[in-house]
Amino acid sequence: MSTLEFKNICYAYEKEKWILSEVSAVLETGKIYAVLGPSGSGKSTLLSLLGGLDTPTKGNILFNGEDILEKGLEYHRRNRVSLIFQNYNLIDYMTPLENTALIAKQDGMPILKRLGLTKEEARRNILKLSGGQQQRVAVARALISAASVILADEPTGNLDENTASELTDILRESAHQFGKCVVVVTHSQAVAEKADVVLELKHKKLKEREIL
């Protein structure tokens, strides 16, 4: 089991204007976490810190007990985390299959198919796919990567209810069957209900919500 831990993180984009204050948690592989909270509460900010896109103003982020700064943020980003962000970070002059091929040698078609793309869509240029289809390619890319942590920012945001529910089931499966640590920032109660742990960001603090 691997862990991604953050300890007493504080973060401000501008001097002394704190977005996060003394935020801590331990995230484990094999589990799916939902991070909820009002708009502007700092959820995406927290995700970018966990993904090594930025460093906390104060506090530490540890992977298996070692500060991620020890091996460096680039190492962290390349080897341990896979990001599904709102702009999808896809290479838009390539096809879905070419995008998954950049991440792993294995054939991307089974996972793209599982996520509802046809063979024809998998061979179409990214820009000729709908927003929801692009989102599913971004998820396929994360699932195919060897990284043990998947960080997803509103992965169901562009999807209808059924597709959103299927995608959440796939993320859950990635945690429970494939041992990933999945962290999903969401406004969706339906996604939160499928998470093992629900964390709520409010007033710069993170609290674990009890699951009934």
Q: Which residues bind ligand ATP (CB under 6 A)?
A: 13, 19, 37, 39-45
Nearer to ligand ATP, 28 or 200 (CB): 200
Phi, psi of 180 (to 5 degrees): -85, 160
Instruction: Kindly tell me which of 6 and 148 has the beta carbon lying closer to ligand ATP.
Output: 6
Q: Is 129 exposed, middle or buried (0-12, 13-18, 19+ CB in 10 A)?
A: buried
**Least Cβ distance, residue 95 to ligand ATP (angstroms):** 29
- Distance of closest approach, residue 153 Cβ to ligand ATP, in angstroms: 7
- In angstroms, the CA 7 to CA 152 distance is 21
Between residues 37 and 59, which has the closer beta carbon with respect to ligand ATP? 37
The two tokens of residue 180 are 């990933």
Which CB, 40 or 65, lies closer to ligand ATP? Answer: 40
- 152-175 burial, b for 16+ CB within 10 Å, e for fewer? bbbbbebbeeebbbbbbebbbebb
Phi, psi at 20, each rounded to 5°: -125, 140
- To ligand ATP, the closest distance from the beta carbon of 45 in angstroms equals 3
Three-class DSSP labels, 49-98: HHCCCCCCCEEEEEECCEEHHHHCHHHHHHHCEEEECCCCCCCCCCCHHH
The least CB distance from residue 151 to ligand ATP, in Å, is 12
Nearer to ligand ATP, 23 or 139 (CB): 23
Minimum separation from the CB atom of position 35 to ligand ATP (A): 9
